[in-house]
Amino acid sequence: MTERAGRPAARVAADERAQDRGWLPGDAERYRALSEHVPAVLYHEVHEVDGVVLYESPQNRQLLGYTPEETVQPDFWKTLVHPEDRDRVLTEEERCNRTGDPWHMEYRVIAKDGRVVWVRDHAVLVRGERGERDFWQGYYIDITEQKQAEAALRQALERERQAVERERQAARQLRALDEMKNTFLDAVSHELRTPLAAVIGIALTLKRAGADLAQEDAVDLVDRLVANAGKLDRLLTDLLDLDRLSKGILAPRRSRTDLAALVSRVAREWEERSGRRVDLAVEPVVAWVDPAKVERVVENLLTNAGRHTTPDTPVWVKLARRGEGVLLTVEDAGGGVPQELRTALFEPFRQGPDAAAHAPGVGIGLSLVARFAELHGGRAWVQERPGGGASFQVLLPDSTDPATVAGQRLG
């Protein structure tokens, strides 16, 4: 719309145009008296560029605080429109002036005292006897309280939505924790009972048979007893370490370690226990690491490969220098790991979709691999092996600063 500023001659012009339209004497005054008692600002404005305001009720001064003398400047009304609303308001004003379509907008203006006032503005184009565009007739009202109420309602609804979402998220987390608990209990129950049953059975056999057992049978039973006891020990150690890690009370104890010898030894021991072959590609590497933690990393990666592949699937263990650190890799030619599970596998009690029934696990081995790597300041990840299969990789920084090593030992 064009500016609605009252000019000193506005009243005179209004009376003249009123007479041109055949109004009776006093009609304009009665109209003004009526308009000044309605809760809106009424106006008439000539339809032309910078058209003069024929009439605007005094509620305008009460609403915005500007005097008629202040509003006589060209385009004054446009300067009152809030900067964030100005483009859309002026675009619509230009369209309505061009087409003659009714004007209907809600926008913000700036009052003289700096207040932001929302107004709802309606106007229609009145045409002359010959159909020519004559003047705009309209009104605008203060809708600030309504807008504030709408904003408060939106905020309340958003808070309610967020609260509902938090409740849903909490419910999902509780369900996930419950599922994790059940998975953990099932897995631990199986993992504990299997070797424990073997230990009890072997112990009873040794007790009952006693000296009647052949030497060869006795040695075999003792070897099986030790192997199953070792499984129990490893499981309990994993669980205790996971608990310590979650509480932040486990720190690496670094020492200068021949990693090539350590990795080769762990791989050969796993070969003996599993009856499977491991192809080694180990470079001579000596680094400042926690040897016990690195040993567990290699053991857990090999155990994972054994659980998720068939006995005839090739397995590789590689060790090499990588910049300032050491890269340990355990690969297999199995089915690989889907992209969407490559992060989740390193979470506690999570296993791949192909977790074999013949070799179930607790689902904490890879979690410990990732946590032990983080303890060293490194990381663990899985990617596709060239040629197919899974490639689990662990990068361990090599800290050669004696002060750093000593500090970590004290921690």
Q: List pLDDT tens digits, range 182-212.
A: 666 665 665 677 778 888 888 888 888 877 7
- Which of these CATH numbers, 3.30.565.10, 3.30.300.130, 3.90.1150.10, 3.40.50.1450, describes 255-410? 3.30.565.10
**The pLDDT value given to residue 379:** 93
Q: What's the average model confidence in pLDDT over 215-237?
A: 81
**The pLDDT value given to residue 136:** 82
Q: At what angle do helices 10-20 and 27-35 cross, to 10 degrees?
A: 120
Residue 86: phi and psi, rounded to 5, are -60, -45
Q: Is the pLDDT of residue 359 over 70?
A: no
* More confidently predicted of 409 and 341: 341
In 3-state terms, what secondary structure has residue 320?
Answer: strand
Of 40-54, 67-81, 212-226, 361-375, the poorest mean pLDDT is in 40-54
**The pLDDT value given to residue 84:** 95
329: which strand partners? 318, 393
394: which strand partners? 328, 380
Domain ranges of the chain: 10-142, 149-247, 255-410
Of 67-76, 132-141, 303-312, the poorest mean pLDDT is in 67-76
Of 122-131, 246-255, 324-333, 389-398, the poorest mean pLDDT is in 246-255
Confidence of residue 356 (pLDDT cuts 50, 70, 90): very low
Q: Is the pLDDT of residue 131 over 60?
A: yes
Q: What's the average model confidence in pLDDT over 310-318?
A: 94
Within 8 A by CB and 6+ apart from 292, the residues are 253
**The pLDDT value given to residue 189:** 65
For the structural domain made of 149-247, what CATH number should be given? 1.10.287.130
Q: What's the average model confidence in pLDDT over 176-180?
A: 71
Q: Are 41 and 65 in contact (CB under 8 A)?
A: no
Fold entry, domain 10-142: Beta-Lactamase (3.30.450)
24, 409, 77, 33: which is closest to 255 by C-alpha?
409
Q: At what angle do helices 259-274 and 291-307 cross, to 10 degrees?
A: 30
**The pLDDT value given to residue 46:** 65
Confidence of residue 213 (pLDDT cuts 50, 70, 90): confident
**The pLDDT value given to residue 204:** 86
Q: What's the average model confidence in pLDDT over 268-293?
A: 91
* More confidently predicted of 73 and 232: 232
Residue 256: phi and psi, rounded to 5, are -70, 115
Averaged pLDDT of the chain: 80
Of 215-224, 287-296, 354-363, the poorest mean pLDDT is in 354-363
Q: Is the pLDDT of residue 21 over 80?
A: no
**The pLDDT value given to residue 386:** 92
Helix (H) or strand (E) holding 103: strand 103-110
**The pLDDT value given to residue 378:** 92
Q: What does the pLDDT look like over 148-173, one tens digit per residue?
A: 999 999 999 999 999 999 999 998 88
Q: What's the average model confidence in pLDDT over 296-323?
A: 92
Confidence of residue 276 (pLDDT cuts 50, 70, 90): very high
Q: What's the average model confidence in pLDDT over 316-339?
A: 92
**The pLDDT value given to residue 262:** 95
In 3-state terms, what secondary structure has residue 319?
Answer: strand
Q: Is the pLDDT of residue 361 over 50?
A: no
Q: Is the pLDDT of residue 139 over 80?
A: yes
Residue where the block lists tokens 């609260």:
163
Q: What's the average model confidence in pLDDT over 357-378?
A: 73
Q: Give percent of the chain with pLDDT exceeding 70.
A: 75
**The pLDDT value given to residue 318:** 96
